[in-house]
Structure 1
Amino acid sequence: MSWFKRSDKGILTPTESKREVPDGLWFKSPAGKIVHTRELKNNAYVVPDEDFHVRIGSEEYFEVLFDEGKYTELDPNMESADPLKFKDTKPYPKRIKESQEKSQLKDAVRTAYGKMNGIDITIACMDFSFIGGSMGSVVGEKIARAMDHSLQTKKPILMISRSGGARMMEAGLSLMQMAKTSAKIALLDAAKIPYISLLTDPTTGGVTASYAMLGDFNIAEPGALIGFAGPRVIRETIGKDLPKGFQSAEFVLEHGFLDFIVDRRNMKNRLSTLLRMLQN
């Protein structure tokens, strides 16, 4: 019976002494590779050997791109109201509040300025964790103000997009942000201030149809999904199977809608080299 029962009770670990592995200590890639989060962070949140780019938020991008992770945030307390009194299964203000508590963000974009390899730059970065990175009035206003900051200071601006598209709870007001941000980009162009657009996984809907595709340079991370409507919607609309890799960054690059694809580990150096070339 000793085969099935421990006779020495002294080697048993009391239940109250057992500890669970902390959440987020390890990351498992889609291919099954297990990576310690410290190693992942040190590798710009790209899985070693696989080159899989993990989805990250504004805090991580600011950490990767700004020198020593130091920056000054613009409009940090701006948050959405409920101008349309949107009727849904859940009141819009309640959904905003829940998203804020869950994500620890005020809305789906953060904007900041600082230095990147010694170059002054403004960065606007979307957060998919806040209602799918949807573009509402706050997103459009914060991006427009970040562009105003670049116009005033003559600093280049980097827009990092990750979004499911326009926020339906703000309807027409959400769609108006496409025109507003596009008009600001025209002002940047007239002032000859570089505007670089970085598309990450996924970038879709009204964001793709506006500021995400209007950069002086449109670049993307490897494997990012980029498009207007989703593949399923397009397939059902045209009644045909889509090409392999349709809407991947590589497919979009091949068809002329991107200038180049950049590995996140090289992003900071590539961007600063590009900006120095433009300055010279």
Structure 2
Amino acid sequence: MSSDLPASAPSPHEQLPIPLFDGVVLAVRSGDGLIFLDLRDLCATLGLDVASQRRRILTMDDVRLAPFRVSVGGKQIRTRDFLLLDDVPLWLLSVQQRRVNPEVRERFSYVKTYLVSAVRQAFAQLTGLPDAPSSTIEDLSELDRIDQALSQLAVLGQRQAELEQSQARARTAYRDLRSLLSELRERVQELEHQAHTRLSPTQRGTIYRMVQTWGQARAQQTPDLAPGLAIRRSWAEVNARFGVSTYTDLPASRYDDVVQFIQDRYRDLTGKELPRIEQHGLEEFDGA
């Protein structure tokens, strides 16, 4: 998949592995502040074929895929495709449920059902039609509302664009910003407290790379085991061993224990040592 990616792919401003669907996905922030998720990790977590998903995404007008050069293991730098976080719901809606790994299919089904329901509700609110099966519509002439609503939506969209450029919009935005800053201060204080008890981004990145390496070795030792499934099982072992639902719930005080556990499991599997490679500055990764 990386053969047709541009050689000049940018490095992210920061990167951090996050838990998702019983797996772990690498998230990055671009220079303009947008957040993207690693398509390869997403597909591994859901049990999907990366190449086919990439081809399908490239045909979708409203889904953005971007390449980034990221650290995936020690000093190794790789160019990978990342899906814009804002577009993840659109992509999930397009994924066929039967193709999703059985281990996460039920949870995926709940998410997709919610997204479909939200779209239907939005359409009903827009058109004024009942949020119910179409059999409840007694008169077909009520469907005239659809075109009227779509036309009004276009007008409203144009007016909104004009309002955003006006001084009145700027004053409203300023008041909202003051309120937001107050909320952010409270949130920062909470996060500062959590930072002293939870794994740091550097520690999370180290564990992520070590589990990726362990999972890949596990797949090589078991030919009929797909790499994505091998990595998920490795994460499941870590979570089960330390009694958490996701590794981000681990306290920083258990970091050395987690690293030692992964190293022991890797040594038992391969007979080789798995070094702990901590990349300080992962919060502001510059590809160096």
Superposition TM-score tier, normalisation by shorter sequence: under 0.3
More helix by share: 2
TM-score computed with the length of structure 2 as normaliser:
0.24
CA radius of gyration, larger in: 2
Q: What TM-score, normalized by structure 1, do the two folds share?
A: 0.25
Greater relative contact order, per chain length (Cα 8 Å cut-off, separation 6+) = 2
Structure with greater strand share of residues:
1
